[in-house]
Amino acid sequence: MGPSLLILGVFVLWPIVRSLWYSLHDWTVGAAEQPWAGLGNYTKLLGDEQFRRALANTLIITAASTAVLVAVGLGLALALTSENVVTRVIRSAFFFPTVISLTTVGMVWRFLLDPDIGLVGGVTNALGLGAVNWLQSTALALPTVIFVNVWKNAGFVMIVLVAGLKAIPGEYYEAAALDGARRAQLLRYVTLPALRPTLLFVTFIVTIQSLQLFDLVYVMTGGGPLFHTDTLVTKLYRDGFVNYRTGYAAATSWVLFIVVVLVSALQLRIFRYNDAD
């Protein structure tokens, strides 16, 4: 108990308290004076157009990624639950991107989508559609990042849901079938209610992952074009580590923390977690 509390205290609790302290100062790493700012950094964030855009982008990425991931993951899981060689191969194929690092995924897709040298541009050119500059278009960059985020994580969601589906006792289906339930009714009244804890778990995981999205954006677009894919984490990285505005970056991280708490609370409510069992 003691050592784990010590480790938790030094590496988790203390940095959290410090970051709150930083956020209340006009803190610059190493400066001789760290002037007290009170809530100044937080009020400054409200008027910061880059922050508002980053917050909006983060919420859009999270909402879109989570909705599409759960829908696609559930569809794949339902289609691929049975055990045979074909489903195993397809499941492996979908799961493969999950084991690659986000940085690698970002770099690969950046090359694929390059309008001059990328495979996607080559295909669209061959079809006479012309090469689209996916990552430099202010309209397309964000949907493209969301697509790659979904591509990367769909396999993970599918595997977890397949495990959840397999854990549903067969007797439920037999009993429902005896009562004359059809396929759609089985899904609606047996599968989905029984899968609720698993759905809650994957939704939680992908939501928090999406809220903290950094590597993919950093590698693919750097937050551009014109901050159209900038997220709260890429912004706080830029403030903290490029421009050395530690206090301001800490304030951004606290706003992100509050967003994560609120979104998580909302999810618990939507899934009616208390009566999930």
Which residues lie near another protein (CB under 8 A)?
Answer: 2-3, 28-32, 50, 114-117, 133, 135-136, 138, 222, 224-227, 238, 241-244
Please provide residue 25's backbone torsions phi and psi, each rounded to the nearest 5 degrees: -125, 160
d(C-alpha 227, C-alpha 54), whole Å: 7
Residue 46 buriedness (CB in 10 A; 0-12 / 13-18 / 19+): exposed
Find the shortest distance in angstroms from Cβ 23 to another protein.
Answer: 18
| CB closer to another protein, 158 vs 230 | 230
| CB closer to another protein, 133 vs 264 | 133
d(C-alpha 86, C-alpha 238), whole Å: 46
| CB closer to another protein, 97 vs 115 | 115
The residue whose two tokens read 């977690």 is: 273
Q: Name the token pair of 141.
A: 């960059």
Find the shortest distance in angstroms from Cβ 18 to another protein.
Answer: 13
d(C-alpha 182, C-alpha 91), whole Å: 27
d(C-alpha 87, C-alpha 70), whole Å: 19
d(C-alpha 176, C-alpha 227), whole Å: 52
Q: What is the DSSP letter of 25?
A: B
Find the shortest distance in angstroms from Cβ 131 to another protein.
Answer: 9
Find the shortest distance in angstroms from Cβ 24 to another protein.
Answer: 20
Strand partners, 26: none
| CB closer to another protein, 105 vs 114 | 114
Q: Residue 92 in contact with residue 179, Cβ under 8 Å?
A: no
d(C-alpha 263, C-alpha 250), whole Å: 20
Find the shortest distance in angstroms from Cβ 243 to another protein.
Answer: 5
| CB closer to another protein, 21 vs 241 | 241
| CB closer to another protein, 50 vs 124 | 50
Find the shortest distance in angstroms from Cβ 115 to another protein.
Answer: 7
